[in-house]
Amino acid sequence: MSGKIHTYAGKDATVTWDGSRCIHAAECVRRVPQSFDPQARPWIRCDTASAHALADAVNACPSGALSMRDKDGVSAMATPEANTCLVNPNGPHYVRGKLTLKGGEALVEDTRMALCRCGASQNKPFCDLSHRKVGFAHAGTLPAAKPAPADADLAAPVTIVVTVDGPLQCRGPLTLCDDAGTTAFVDAVHLCRCGGSGNKPYCDGTHRKIGFTG
């Protein structure tokens, strides 16, 4: 989980980019192309758009590679009202919310993460696009829907523990969703990250059978 942090300062905002977590989703480029141009050097130019437009683009980054502070040093990162995990078809878990990730001695607190579920990333637990190289295939559909209880505190924090050679252990209110619109609320769940589960996105113990490490 080592970072490659680059800082780009402007008169009204400072944007940081963690190259080790970037999966080139290009949401920033689509929203503010004059400020985020991969062909330019530097590729991020904060003074070519308003701080509001920059913040909108940075908050759209699904991996958490981008972050931003205003000229007074105040974070421009928005925390979603509820914690969600989009099971991305043939790709990673896109998790958003009030998140704490624990893996070994490392601890990451963020509002957005793209977490590997193909088992092949060289930057586990984060996605590094290896799912494309290994041909990982899963439609991202949820086996069943499950509504949230009426008294659920959807804004409470979620802790994600990267278990040794095993799944992601999530504790806290989390709503899983897929492209079909199915949602499943959980407050404790083990999500597959070896790529082999027969009950994706949930862990079914396959990591032990295939000797998954990570």
pLDDT tens digits, one per residue of 139-162 = 999 999 999 999 999 989 999 999
> Can you name the residues that pair with 48 across neighbouring β-strands?
none
For the whole model, what pTM was predicted?
0.93
Q: How many other CB atoms sit within 10 Å of the CB of residue 143?
A: 11
Domains of the chain: 5-70 (3.30.70.20), 84-210 (3.40.5.90)
pLDDT at 28: 97
How far apart are alpha carbons 96 and 110 in whole angstroms? 8
pLDDT at 3: 59
Greater pLDDT, 106 or 83? 83
Q: Is the pLDDT of residue 208 over 60?
A: yes
Q: Is the pLDDT of residue 57 over 80?
A: yes
Spatial neighbors of 188 by CB under 8 A, at least 6 apart, are: 170, 171
Q: Is the pLDDT of residue 179 over 90?
A: no
